[in-house]
Chain A
Amino acid sequence: MDAAYYLKDVVFAYDREPALRVESLVINPGELLALHGPNGSGKTTLLHLLAFVRTPQAGEIHFFQEKAEKSNLLAMRRRIGLLPQNPYLFHSSVMANVTWALRIRGVDRSTRRKRALQALEWVGLAGFEHRHARDLSGGEAQRVALARALVLEPDVLLLDEPASHMDRSSIRLVEEIVMQWNRSLGKTVVFSSHARIQDHALTPHRTLYVLYGRIAGQGSENIFPGRIIDSGTSFETNHMTFKLHHPITSGDYLTVDPSRIMVSTYMPMPRDAANAWRGRIVAMSEAGDRVRLEVDSGERFNVLLTREAYDRVRAVLGQTIWLRVPDDAMKVLS
């Protein structure tokens, strides 16, 4: 299989409690993938599995067509750059931090220094090489950790909540680096965020929602907490009620795939069509080759439109439109 990663029936548990289960996941080479989900949902665990710093209790992980085994884990780790959410810096200078991984790979001193200075320049920390790690601010420490990952020129870059400890300007800088890394160099990038994806300048090719230790679905940016009512035929959120095609017995969240939501300027027919609401466009942005709308219909929906669909609707900010959520765009999770 031509994939950067292929995960099959992977189970990871802390102690005996499973923290993450992935039945099947493919990450393509050169893909910019976002992992979205609340804190504690399993995003960090998934990134650690992808970085091969944790080993699953069950299942298989293939990395560029090679099955991960004890014998090749080190070689695989050395092709990956991981930026942890709250990175640890060694008690030494910035330069020593950035060059250490090169040193243990046997890279000579002058090359190490040259590459480290280049990496520090990428992250906007030129001139910081002699500073001690303990004298850095949270944002600077995060950028040093990013430089430490970038200096290895890895095939895959994994970023765990890259914006969590940074100021606004640092976030922009890091997002630009990541986009450049992905677009210009064609490197695979996976990043996690508990914030809404549209709050980032990063425009992922794909977004996966991780919830309760499972990948809840692709593109599931619309996550609504709620409960099952009407003998399992409806799901009630704080502000609306979704009709379910197949009755179900339990569920705490309903997800709606943003690329499957249908948009129209006219009321859908029949008038009492299920799961159709009127809403106002409150935000618009570009998302790669698509257009993202944020529509307030009681709940706020993220809608991903193709350019053709966008041209057809001629959506403008503040406009009132109709949304229709097809049965197969909804998924109830428990």
Chain B
Amino acid sequence: MSFFLDSLLAAFHLIVGFDAEVYVIARTSLQVSLVGSALASVTGVPAGLVIALTEFRGKRAVLLLLNTLMSLPTVVIGLLFYGLLSRQGPLGDLGILFTPAGVSLGLFVLALPLIANLSIAAVHGLDPRLALTCRALGATPLQQAWMIIKEARFAVVCAIVVGFGRVISEVGIAMMIGGNIKGFTRTLTTAIALETSKGEFELGLALGMFLLIIAFGVNGLLFLFQRAK
């Protein structure tokens, strides 16, 4: 118990003492996660809206695919993109393997089906009278879509937050595409795995606490948004 408490105390000192290594890792983690989840949000939310509001051939297949992709293991995405982005791969010329951009791309693919699926659920959860009301009031499809997002704003923000939570807490993609390069692609999760295996439990714990602080901050914002609603 003393070991754990000592480690916790040391971790706390690393954070309040603005330990450079901890903050660089946290910044990298935030950077790749924000880019990945932002890209997934700007594509996933409209895609979810379109899928939810329109009828087309193969809609069920698309929903099935999105559901399947939601449970895709992160190491599989990492493996896939490792193959695609490596020098011999079809996207090798991009030169983004072992870079934050490569990690963001992998995280985008991880979050996209999740955000799209949750956006579909958000729209399906809306009152069916909403679309009819918008149409009756003379809204164009774009104006209608905007009002639907506004009315589903809490559920849509929830979808984005869940997507962000998924990408910031994953380890497989960051490890395989990022390569866990110190000061460049090392993220909170890959660093925790590495430092703990090296026996640097205090540092691992400090990084873990940082991850919790970020999760708390994001959920706090969501809570404030919900109250404002």
Contacts and interface: CB of A to CB of B under 8 A. Distances in A.
Interface of A: 48, 51, 53, 74, 77-78, 80, 82, 84, 86-88, 90-91, 100-101, 104-105, 148, 152
Contacts of B68: none
A148 B129 contact: no
B136 A77 contact: yes
Contact of A90 (B132, B138, B147): B147
- Top 7 nearest A-B pairs (CB, nearest first) are A88-B129, A78-B138, A101-B137, A82-B136, A53-B135, A88-B133, A104-B143
21 contacts: A48-B132, A53-B135, A53-B136, A74-B138, A74-B140, A77-B136, A78-B138, A84-B129, A84-B133, A87-B129, A87-B133, A88-B127, A88-B129, A91-B151, A101-B137, A101-B138, A101-B139, A104-B137, A104-B139, A104-B140, A105-B138
A78 B135 CA distance: 9
B212 interface: no
B131 to A, nearest CB: 9
A148 B137 contact: yes
Contacts of B132: 48, 53, 84, 88
B229 interface: yes
A77 B138 contact: yes
Contacts of B139: 101, 104
Interface string B140-172: 100100010011000000000000000000000
B130 interface: yes
Contacts of A105: 138
Interface of B: 127, 129-130, 132-133, 135-140, 143, 147, 150-151, 229
A141 B229 CA distance: 19
Nearest to B153: A91
Nearest to A101: B137
B226 to A, nearest CB: 12
B146 to A, nearest CB: 9
Point out which of A77, A84, A91, A152 has the most chain B C-beta atoms below 10 A from its C-beta.
A91
Contacts of B229: 91
Contacts of A104: 137-140, 143
A80 B130 CA distance: 17
A224 B119 CA distance: 50
Given A86-B129, A88-B129, A88-B130, A77 B135 contact: yes
Contacts of A53: 132, 135-136
Contacts of A152: 137-138
Point out which of B127, B135, B137, B143 has the most chain A C-beta atoms below 10 A from its C-beta.
B137
Nearest to B146: A104
A84 B147 CA distance: 18
A86 B129 CA distance: 9
Contacts of B137: 100-101, 104, 148, 152
Contacts of A77: 135-136, 138
Nearest to A104: B143
A100 B137 CA distance: 8
A116 B151 CA distance: 21
A222 to B, nearest CB: 33
A101 B144 CA distance: 11
Contacts of B151: 90-91
A88 B135 CA distance: 12
